[in-house]
């Protein structure tokens, strides 16, 4: 380091060298795609399939199983944990080299863990747990003993955790193997996973587009099949948005369903969540079935591990009531939040899903006008995001002379913390909005108060997956953290030529600033719409508070309908 160089630069070099050294030489690729979106879209999803690193049997392991069938094969010794872990470590190493999605490759410890699991099965005749050998990754914010939780901040590098996060301990007790930790944005408050220490995570579908944030590395790892299930966190959309960007499934549970505690405190602000908004942890996966499979093991045990969790059950035998006539599952369609008009391809895909559901046996579809309470949620949520004034995060950034990454310039600055009275007033407004939203779900009848809608479908965002650093407002996702509704992302299809509508302007009255910026993503004077071709189009599914298993049922109904899948079971 030169005397005039800011300290963060040397720290970043050493951290990146440490990460690179964790990838064995024989797993390294030649002729890597050039870094940065300026070199074109360069899709990289196909690279693990070329046979240079993974053998045919390893490709089969990472491609052909779902979470349940893989665990079944591992638990009956049809596959060894060592073989499976090796295959996924190799695939994760490839993903890192072509997308920059990892912060901490944990291949050495993962392989050692795999050997322990194989020895346990051999010695005891039983698997270690119900998720025996399942290869997973976790967001960088989760603590693992002896490993950094730097959050991409130079001031937190080379300070390894001395204890595990609660969810990590729970997942290890179930038999999981942790392959790696994944990349996040600076401050954890951006929708593009880019920081000064590790750099930008690239979208494997189109490197010009954002991979999402803040669990962007997790979204990429699941899409690249470098793990079976990834674990992220969500306070504004940080699970659902990366799921949308990478064409995978994401699940934000209700508060209290999955242990969140003992993550990287990032300057002592963990207590702020108890007076402001509480983030939640949840899975990203390749299918609804994989989400269901891991949640049925995590949720019933969560209260035993997490001080922040509630007693709950989860199982295939649980009856999920239906609110429609003749026992139909009622799905509401909400087409806009009142702050951002849907761009044409998003409006189109919502209409397509609604039409498919109308033709689905056992489903009743109702249109839900934009609730005024939903329109008010984004503004209130933005106030909650800034209740601490950003002081602790600003201290961490300034400690090593880090600059703000481009997306954060103009969006993050040291502010003044809100007073206790101001926070109390915000919470009171939140309560009012929660009460108003009850009338969207429920109605009064002669026999009392009853539920009229079982689940709702709405967009994840008003726009398609945008180019890097161009994500607009988060009201379509953050609102459901404010309301504490479980919410999930279901991919529908890819953006195609019929969606372009070249030469056709959007029209309509601009609602406000958020809407104006969103419309720019469709304005042919500002963006070449063909950049969206091949990117995923998804929908968001929500259910009432604490109705997490109902959400999985709803996601499965919608997923099976739009992809014409054979139903897994009677719902």
Residues 6 or more apart in contact with residue 263 via CB below 8 angstroms: 141, 142, 143, 149, 165, 233, 270
- Exactly one of 238, 479, 518, 538 is catalytic; name it: 238
∠ CA 478-480-482, nearest 5°, is 75
Query: In the annotation, is 316 catalytic?
Result: no
SS3 content of the chain, % helix, strand, coil (to 5): 40, 15, 45
Residues 6 or more apart in contact with residue 558 via CB below 8 angstroms: 331, 353, 357, 457, 490, 539, 541
User: 282 with 240: CB under 8 angstroms?
Assistant: no
User: 165 with 231: CB under 8 angstroms?
Assistant: no
Q: Report DSSP state, residue 134.
A: -
The three-class DSSP label of residue 289 is helix
Q: Is the preceding omega at residue 214 within 30 degrees of 0, hence cis?
A: yes
DSSP string spanning 461-518? -SS-SPBTT-----HHHHHHHHTT--EEEEEEEE--GGG--TT----S---SHHHHHH
- Exactly one of 149, 150, 165, 214 is catalytic; name it: 214
Query: How large is the greatest C-alpha to C-alpha distance in the chain, in angstroms?
Result: 78
Please give the Cα distance from 540 to 296 (Å, whole number). Answer: 21
Query: In the annotation, is 165 catalytic?
Result: no
Which tokens is 540 given?
Answer: 């968001």
Burial call 66-97: b when 16+ CB within 10 Å, e when fewer = ebbebbebbbeeebbbbbbbbbbbbbbbbbbb
Residues 6 or more apart in contact with residue 320 via CB below 8 angstroms: 549, 550, 553, 571
Residues 6 or more apart in contact with residue 491 via CB below 8 angstroms: 243, 244, 247, 248, 249, 536, 537, 538
Query: In the annotation, is 419 catalytic?
Result: no
- Exactly one of 15, 139, 262, 376 is catalytic; name it: 139
The three-class DSSP label of residue 415 is coil
Residue corresponding to tokens 């930790």: 181
Any idea which residues carry the catalytic annotation?
Answer: 139, 214, 238
């Amino acid at each position: 380091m030169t005397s005039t160089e800011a300290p963060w630069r040397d720290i970043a070099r050493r951290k990146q060298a440490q990460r690179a050294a964790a990838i064995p030489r024989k797993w390294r690729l030649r002729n890597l795609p050039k870094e940065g979106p300026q070199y074109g879209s360069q899709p990289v999803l196909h690279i693990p399939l070329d046979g240079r690193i993974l053998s045919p049997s390893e490709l089969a392991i990472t491609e052909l199983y779902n979470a349940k069938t893989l665990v079944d094969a591992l638990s009956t010794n049809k596959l060894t944990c060592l073989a499976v872990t090796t295959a996924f470590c190799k695939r994760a190493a490839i993903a890192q080299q072509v997308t920059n999605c990892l912060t901490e490759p944990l291949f050495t410890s993962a392989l050692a863990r795999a050997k322990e699991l194989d020895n346990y099965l051999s010695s005891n005749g039983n698997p270690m747990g119900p998720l025996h050998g399942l290869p997973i990754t976790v967001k960088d914010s989760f603590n693992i003993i002896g490993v950094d939780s730097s959050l991409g901040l130079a001031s937190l590098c080379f300070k390894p955790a001395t204890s595990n996060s609660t969810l990590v301990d729970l997942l290890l007790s179930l038999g999981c193997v942790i392959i790696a930790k994944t990349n996040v944005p600076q401050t954890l408050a951006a929708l593009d996973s880019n920081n000064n220490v590790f750099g930008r995570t690239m979208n494997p579908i189109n490197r010009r587009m954002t991979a999402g944030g803040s669990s962007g590395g997790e979204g990429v790892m699941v899409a690249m099949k470098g793990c079976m299930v990834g674990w992220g966190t969500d306070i504004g959309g940080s699970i659902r948005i990366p799921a949308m960007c990478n064409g995978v499934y994401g699940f934000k549970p209700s508060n209290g369903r999955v242990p969140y505690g003992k993550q990287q405190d990032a300057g002592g602000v963990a207590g702020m969540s108890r007076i402001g908004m509480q983030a939640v942890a949840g899975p990203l996966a390749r299918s609804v079935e994989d989400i269901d499979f891991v949640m049925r093991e995590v949720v019933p045990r969560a209260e035993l591990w997490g001080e922040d969790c509630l007693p709950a059950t989860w199982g295939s035998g649980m009856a999920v009531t239906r609110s429609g006539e003749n026992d139909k599952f009622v799905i509401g369609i909400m087409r806009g939040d009142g702050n951002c008009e849907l761009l044409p391809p998003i409006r189109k895909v919502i209409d397509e899903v609604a039409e498919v559901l109308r033709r689905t046996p056992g489903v009743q579809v109702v249109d839900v006008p934009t609730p005024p309470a939903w329109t008010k949620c984004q503004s209130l949520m933005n106030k909650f995001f800034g209740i601490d004034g950003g002081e602790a995060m600003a201290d961490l950034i300034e400690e090593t002379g880090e600059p703000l990454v481009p997306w954060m310039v103009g969006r993050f600055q040291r502010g003044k913390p809100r007073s206790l009275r101001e926070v109390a007033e915000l919470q009171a407004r939140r309560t009012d909005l929660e009460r108003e939203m009850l009338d969207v779900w429920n109605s009064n009848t002669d026999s009392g108060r009853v539920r009229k809608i079982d689940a709702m479908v709405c967009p994840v965002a008003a726009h398609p997956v945008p180019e890097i650093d161009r994500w607009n407002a988060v009201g379509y996702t953050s609102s459901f953290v404010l309301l504490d509704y479980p919410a999930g992302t279901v991919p529908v299809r890819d953006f195609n030529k019929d969606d372009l509508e070249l030469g056709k302007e959007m029209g309509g009255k601009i609602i406000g600033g958020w809407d104006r910026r969103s419309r720019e993503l469709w304005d042919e004077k500002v963006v070449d719409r063909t950049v969206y071709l091949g990117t995923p189009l998804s929908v968001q599914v929500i259910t009432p508070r604490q109705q997490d298993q109902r959400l999985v049922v709803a996601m499965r109904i919608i997923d099976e309908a739009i992809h014409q899948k054979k139903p897994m079971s009677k719902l």
